[in-house]
Structure 1
Amino acid sequence: MEEQRITQLEQELEALKLRVAQLEQLHPVPHPTSTPEQSTVATPKKRPAFVKKDDTFSPKIKQSRTRDEWEHMIATIWLPRIAVIFAAIGAIFLFSYASISGWVNPAVRVGSGVLIGLLLIGVGEYQYEKKRRELGVGLVATGTIVSLAALFAGMALYQFYSPGLAFSLELVILFITFGLMLWMASRVLLILVSITGFLLPFLQLADEANVSLFLLYEVILFAALFYAAIRLKTILGFVVSWGFLTIALVTAMSMVGFSPPSMSDEISLLAASLVSYIGTALTGQRLRMKWNYPSYGAGLIVIASLAVIDWQWGTLIALVLAGLAYSIANYSKDAWHNAVGHATVFYAITQIPYDILRLSEQFETLLFACILIGLWFVKRQHMPYHRMIALALYVYFIFDQITQSGMYAAMNDSFRLSVVALVLATSGLIYLLVQQHRAMVEDGTFQISLVVAAVGVLTTYTLLVMELPFYDGLDETNRSTTLSVAYILLALLLVTIGRIRNLSVWRLSGLLLLSVSAIKLLVFDLSFLTLVQKAFVFIGFAIVAFIISRTYFKKRKNN
């Protein structure tokens, strides 16, 4: 029975399968497509190959402080400073009232002043440890001033102790403040130590100043301050310290210059100036200053100190200083130190004892011209704005030689060696224009260089003609005629060089000089030349003008 039943069930199952197959053929059911899972990580956008840069400048707008920020700044920064100032003023008034009323004797006043100052310094240190930086710095500054003022009063007003003991005690106070300045990393305390430390020697009220000890103290003080400026990384503190050191050196120069010569004082002044120059150069480099102007000023101070001491061997010392400046420039990669070296070299040639060497003073002019040529062509020791500074020196050289020529003419002395120097310098400038024409055009200095060269050529040529052997024997009329003829010939020569080398600069210079000659003939020479001279000069000018014009007409025809 069961086998029949199983067989029947299998037949029914086969029938159902056939039925389902027939229904699927009549109504097909779409199979669901499997959709992949979407990733939750955002795919980065494809970066374009070229993005145009937006040239529009959007300035950064500084957000204004909120009312709470203003309140916090006034309460935590400005209020402690104001409180310190008022506390110091109040203490002065209190001591004044106590002295007038006779409450305390002078010894108590001085002692209490020192103790109050030290107490303020201690309280300032405590406030700094409690994270009240501005209040702590202000209290330390006030305590330093009060202590130094009390010690000065005990020495100057009441003579309780000698100036040497007062100076030693003041140094102790200053040393304490210096240590706290390094610990607090305070630029304000650095400036305070610079000012008070600079003033301490002047507060001793000595009748005769010891220049050597004064310079030794100032050098040690400001060497420590430069070290502190490096530690604190403060350019302002360094500049302020350098300013007071410069005042100290200038003061020492005045004392050495207006007092009887003392070899020890002069050596101390020169050594202090050199240490100042080296120290400012190294400090500025450590602070990564773009323009280390304190060191440039210190270099000029060294030159000034050399001028004050005025030694016979000052030239050798100046050359050593120039070598030092060039070495600092190469070490620090600061080209402005080359300018200090150049200035020292120019100063050195003024200190050569020409009379002892039995040389004419015009050798100084010749050396100046040689150094000027070296500035143009020696590229190793170039400085910023090199061409413009060299052009300015050349202009000074030209006008100085014009003045010197008048003086030599008044003394009926020869000016021949200076004219040779002028010829060398002017030839160097012309060669510079030819060699570096493209570079000058690119940096925009060619036009002004051309004008300066034209003035130099005219001046040099005029002085050269005036130094001709026959020129002194001529009267004023013949001298003017000679200069006019010389200008016309020079104009023809310049245009000829320009036509041969196909350079418009030379041709234009010749045409300009010819125009100047025409103006000179019409304005100056026409009134006092004789008829023969007028005919000779004007006909010669016309011939040269026709020759030059003919070359231009021929050039246009060929083109």
Structure 2
Amino acid sequence: MDHKRIENLEKKITVLEEEVKELKQLLTNQYGSKTEFTVQAKKPSNHEEAVSHQPMKPTEVYEQQVKKSTNWEEQLFQIWLPRIFIFVFIIGVLWGFKAASDYGVMSEGVKVTLGYIVSAAFVGVGHLQIVKKRSVLGQVLLGGSVPILMLTTFAAHSLYGMIGPSFAFMLNALWVVAGLGMTVYYRSQALGIISIIGGVLVPFLIESNSPNQLVFISYETLLYLAFAFIAWRLNYHVLYGLAAILLNVVLLVYGWFVEFTSLLGAALLIQHVCLLLLSAVRKGNEFIYASTTLASLFIVYGWISSTMEKTTVTIIIAVLIVVYALCIKVYKTEKVKFDFFMSYLVIGIAFLINQLLNKEDALLLYIIQGAVTCYLAHKYNNPIQKFVGYAIYTISAVAVMAIPIEAVFSQPTLNWLGFLGTMLFLVFIQNNSMKKSTLFVASTSILFTILTLSFVTQEVQLFTEALSTNTQTLALTFSWILLAIIGLSIGIVKLFKAGTYIGISLLFLTLIKLVLYDLPFIPLAIRAVLFIALGGIGLIVSRILHKKMT
């Protein structure tokens, strides 16, 4: 037996060896020699960070995260330490120049010359470090050169009066372009961040007796467009978002200290169009870019509505709605983009309603818009549109409840009716999508009951305000009982469970009202009629529900 087992094992080992040889041959044919394959895997760029233009699958991201554990010493000593101490070094250089000037060691011209020499040295040494594959230190040095160039130019212009405002502006613009060029050449997001921060500050570093608003806003807008395109092209998410934020901040500062004009709104409108275009043509990471555009839509509406004429704003919003609709048609096969463009369209329509109607009239349309948006989001499984729809609906509902009803037949009455009707509709579709969750039906039914009672109570009190207190109390109680009957009828006949819960909730609330509030104020005969009616309805409902359950 042992001899046979040994023979079988030897045969299996022979078969395995042959299979291994075949696999080796296949790998060699596909990848070349082992050495060649190893070189390909380890081959890095001389001065470029790895930039991927194709989105990775979630499984690939997870595998990379598992393979690469965070090396905290490397993060601290090789990445963050140089970044922190480059700023310390720059501050030291500035103070050194100041001390040398105070003691009369250096003239103004020498200090400016040394500033440019230090910047050039930073560029040279930084490039050398990157060539030697010390990319982090090299990028820090290159990034440090840009603010030193700008500060030196600022000193030559504002402190020493050696150059005029036009030439100083041209020099600073040149340094920004150089920073932009280094960002692209060295594939460094850090360089881009440093360059754009310095770039937005350039106009504030120039002293001019006749500042030009158009030149300032045009410069900041063109600066944003340049860096936004580079960030989009190289997939630098931080730079992309920072560029958008900085344009808003710098224009807000300008408007706060100088003047809010229509040019500011136009600049932010250009930004929104740029974001829209870049997110539309983006392949990969669409969610990040589309989310930025969504935030921009709210911001740009705030800017243009506060800096432009109402008619102009209305035309702009209408044009944007048409653009969003066209984008929906073009990108209907790309889910993420389609979802976001639908959200842009819904929000744009909400803004248009706000432009065309007054607050009370617009609320009803907002309620209907929010409900329709939620319905379409449920139907086509669009989570972003669902969020936008429920946000519009909730905000509008709160506004409806905040406005008191002053007449039985009025616009607030219509708003309340629209709100309650659409809420019942949303409860119905949400209940279907949640596979008839009893907890959801019960909770939303109680909420709807409370809101319905609030509305009916206001209407009945207005309708009976000329009558006696007893009559008002009686009318209110009968109206509650009537609502309970309607809710139960809908729930039983239409097999709509929420209606049953609403009717039962109303019955119990009516009973509580009778016992705690009405009992001392109504005559015995009317009290008997009310209790008999309420008790009879409760018994009939109990019997009907029991029969349906069995």
Instruction: Verify: 1:455 aligned to 2:452, yes or no.
Output: no
Q: Is the 8 A contact 1:144 1:173 kept in 2?
A: yes
Whole-angstrom distance in 2 between the partners of 1:96 and 1:181: 31
Q: Could you say which residue in structure 1 is the equivalent of 2:421?
A: 427
CA 177–518 in structure 1, closer or farther in 2 if over 3 Å, else same: same
Superposition pairs for residues 137-286 of structure 1, below 5 Å? 137-205=139-207, 210-251=212-253, 254=256, 259=260, 262-263=261-262, 265=263, 268-269=266-267, 271-278=269-276, 281-282=279-280, 285-286=282-283
Q: Residue in 2 aligned with 1:478?
A: 471
Larger RCO, structures 1/2 (Cα 8 Å, 6+ apart): 2
Quick one: structure 1 residues 449 and 215, their matched pair in 2 at CA, closer, same or farther if it must change by over 3 Å? farther
The TM-score with structure 1 as length reference comes to 0.75
The Cα offsets for residues 17-58 of structure 1, whole Å up to 9 and x where unpaired, read as xxxxxxxxxxxxxxxxxxxx999552669xxxxxxxxxxx99
Q: For residues 355-394 of structure 1, what are the structure 2 equivalents within 5 Å?
A: 362-378=360-376, 383-384=382-383, 386-387=385-386, 390-391=389-390, 393-394=392-393
Deviates more, 1:180-189 or 1:536-545: 536-545
Q: Which residue of 1 aligns with 2:49?
A: none
Q: Which residue of 1 aligns with 2:351?
A: 347
- The percent of aligned pairs where both chains have the same amino acid is 22
Cα displacement (A) at 1:302: 1.3
Take 2:502 and 2:70, find their aligned partners in 1: how far apart are those partners?
Answer: 61
Check 1:155–1:533 CA distance in 2 against 1; reply closer, same or farther (3 A cut).
farther
Range with greater deviation from structure 2 (206-215 or 237-246): 206-215
Structure 1 residue corresponding to 2:412, chosen from 411, 418, 431: 418
* Aligned CA distance change for structure 1 residues 225 and 388 (closer, same or farther; 3 Å): closer
Aligned match for 2:482, one of 466, 475, 489: 489
Greater Cα radius of gyration, structure 1 or 2:
1
Partner of 2:435: 441
Residue 342 of structure 2: which of 338, 342, 345 is its match?
Answer: 338
> How far is the alpha carbon of 1:192 from its aligned partner?
0.5
Total equivalences in the alignment: 489
Question: Unaligned regions of 5+ residues in structure 1, if any?
Answer: 1-36, 46-56, 355-360
Alignment-derived partner of residue 520 in structure 1: 513
What is the TM-score when the length of structure 2 is the normalising length? 0.76
Shift of residue 80, structure 1, vs aligned partner: 5.3
2-structure distance, mates of 1:341, 1:161: 51
Q: Which letter does structure 2 place at the counterpart of 1:512?
A: S
Aligned to 1:111: 113
Any idea what SS the aligned residue of 2:356 has?
coil
Q: Is 1:509 aligned to 2:502, yes or no?
A: yes
Relative to 1, partners in 2 of residues 1:248 and 1:541: Cα closer, same or farther, differing over 3 Å?
A: same
Alpha-carbon distance, 1:340 to partner: 3.5
State the distance in 2 between where 1:390 and 1:271 align.
Answer: 24
Q: 291, 294, 306: which is aligned to 2:292? A: 294
Question: Which SS does the other structure have where 1:474 is aligned?
Answer: coil
Contact 2:374 2:390 in 1 (8 A): no
Unaligned ranges ≥5, structure 2: 1-10, 21-61
Compared CA separation, residues 249 and 518, structure 1 to 2 (3 A): farther
Q: Does structure 2 conserve the Cα–Cα contact (< 8 Å) formed by 1:215 and 1:252?
A: no
Cα distance in 1, alignment partners of residues 129 and 80 from structure 2: 16
Closer, same or farther: CA 99–421 of 1 in aligned 2, 3 Å: same
> Quick one: structure 1 residues 209 and 429, their matched pair in 2 at CA, closer, same or farther if it must change by over 3 Å?
farther
Relative to its length, the structure with more helix (as a share) is 2
SS in 2 for 1:103: coil
Which amino acid is 2:510 matched to? S
Partner Cα distance (1:98, 1:199) in 2: 27
The residue type paired with residue 507 of structure 2 is L
Question: How far does residue 323 in structure 1 lie from its aligned partner after superposition?
Answer: 3.8
Aligned equivalents of 1:244 and 1:343: distance in 2?
24
